[in-house]
Amino acid sequence: MPLYEYVCKACGHEHEALQKLSAEPLKDCPICEKTELVKKISAAGFRLKGTGWYETDFKSGAKKNVAGDSAPGSPAPTASTTA
Protein backbone atom coordinates (compact mmCIF):
# COMPACT_ATOMS: atom_id res chain seq x y z
CA MET A 1 0.00 0.00 0.00
CA PRO A 2 1.32 3.44 -0.83
CA LEU A 3 2.04 6.13 1.72
CA TYR A 4 0.29 9.41 0.93
CA GLU A 5 1.13 12.85 2.32
CA TYR A 6 -1.53 15.39 3.21
CA VAL A 7 -1.46 18.99 4.42
CA CYS A 8 -4.27 20.93 6.08
CA LYS A 9 -5.03 24.30 4.49
CA ALA A 10 -6.59 25.55 7.73
CA CYS A 11 -3.93 24.76 10.33
CA GLY A 12 -0.91 23.70 8.23
CA HIS A 13 -0.65 20.25 9.85
CA GLU A 14 1.17 17.69 7.67
CA HIS A 15 -0.10 14.12 7.84
CA GLU A 16 0.96 10.78 6.32
CA ALA A 17 -1.51 7.97 5.68
CA LEU A 18 -1.03 4.41 4.48
CA GLN A 19 -3.95 3.82 2.09
CA LYS A 20 -5.06 1.47 -0.66
CA LEU A 21 -4.92 2.79 -4.22
CA SER A 22 -8.70 2.49 -4.42
CA ALA A 23 -9.32 4.42 -1.17
CA GLU A 24 -10.89 7.87 -1.26
CA PRO A 25 -8.54 10.74 -0.33
CA LEU A 26 -8.75 11.92 3.28
CA LYS A 27 -10.57 15.21 3.84
CA ASP A 28 -10.78 15.73 7.61
CA CYS A 29 -7.73 17.06 9.45
CA PRO A 30 -6.90 14.93 12.54
CA ILE A 31 -5.79 18.07 14.46
CA CYS A 32 -8.32 20.82 13.74
CA GLU A 33 -11.02 18.47 12.36
CA LYS A 34 -11.84 20.82 9.47
CA THR A 35 -12.38 19.45 5.96
CA GLU A 36 -9.35 21.28 4.56
CA LEU A 37 -6.99 18.31 4.10
CA VAL A 38 -5.44 18.08 0.61
CA LYS A 39 -3.11 15.47 -0.85
CA LYS A 40 0.45 16.64 -1.51
CA ILE A 41 2.39 15.68 -4.61
CA SER A 42 5.68 14.18 -3.51
CA ALA A 43 8.52 12.07 -4.86
CA ALA A 44 8.73 8.33 -4.42
CA GLY A 45 10.66 7.02 -1.44
CA PHE A 46 13.07 5.05 -3.63
CA ARG A 47 15.15 5.54 -6.74
CA LEU A 48 16.04 2.97 -9.39
CA LYS A 49 19.68 3.48 -10.34
CA GLY A 50 22.13 1.66 -12.52
CA THR A 51 21.93 -0.09 -15.85
CA GLY A 52 18.73 -1.96 -15.08
CA TRP A 53 17.38 -5.12 -13.55
CA TYR A 54 18.09 -8.34 -15.35
CA GLU A 55 17.38 -11.98 -14.56
CA THR A 56 21.13 -12.51 -14.03
CA ASP A 57 21.49 -9.78 -11.38
CA PHE A 58 20.55 -12.04 -8.47
CA LYS A 59 22.02 -15.35 -9.64
CA SER A 60 24.78 -16.97 -7.62
CA GLY A 61 27.34 -19.69 -8.16
CA ALA A 62 28.23 -21.03 -11.60
CA LYS A 63 24.75 -20.46 -13.11
CA LYS A 64 25.24 -16.85 -14.26
CA ASN A 65 24.21 -17.21 -17.90
CA VAL A 66 20.57 -18.31 -17.86
CA ALA A 67 20.19 -17.88 -21.64
CA GLY A 68 22.42 -20.87 -22.38
CA ASP A 69 24.68 -23.47 -20.86
CA SER A 70 27.94 -21.79 -21.88
CA ALA A 71 29.74 -19.57 -19.42
CA PRO A 72 30.11 -15.85 -20.16
CA GLY A 73 33.10 -15.18 -22.41
CA SER A 74 33.23 -18.70 -23.85
CA PRO A 75 32.90 -19.11 -27.62
CA ALA A 76 29.44 -19.73 -29.01
CA PRO A 77 28.77 -23.23 -30.38
CA THR A 78 29.19 -23.59 -34.14
CA ALA A 79 26.97 -25.48 -36.56
CA SER A 80 29.48 -28.33 -36.82
CA THR A 81 29.54 -28.94 -33.05
CA THR A 82 25.78 -28.79 -32.55
CA ALA A 83 24.74 -31.22 -35.31
- According to the model, what pLDDT value does residue 30 have? 93
CB 2 within 8 A of CB 19: yes
The beta strand positions in 1-83, using DSSP E, are 3-8, 14-18, 37-39
- According to the model, what pLDDT value does residue 14 have? 95
Taking the whole predicted model, whether its pTM rises above 0.85 is answered as no
pLDDT digit of tens for each residue in the chain (83 aa)? Answer: 788 999 999 999 999 999 998 999 999 999 999 999 999 987 776 666 666 666 556 656 665 555 555 555 555 555 555 55
CB 1 within 8 A of CB 20: yes
- According to the model, what pLDDT value does residue 27 have? 95
- According to the model, what pLDDT value does residue 55 have? 59
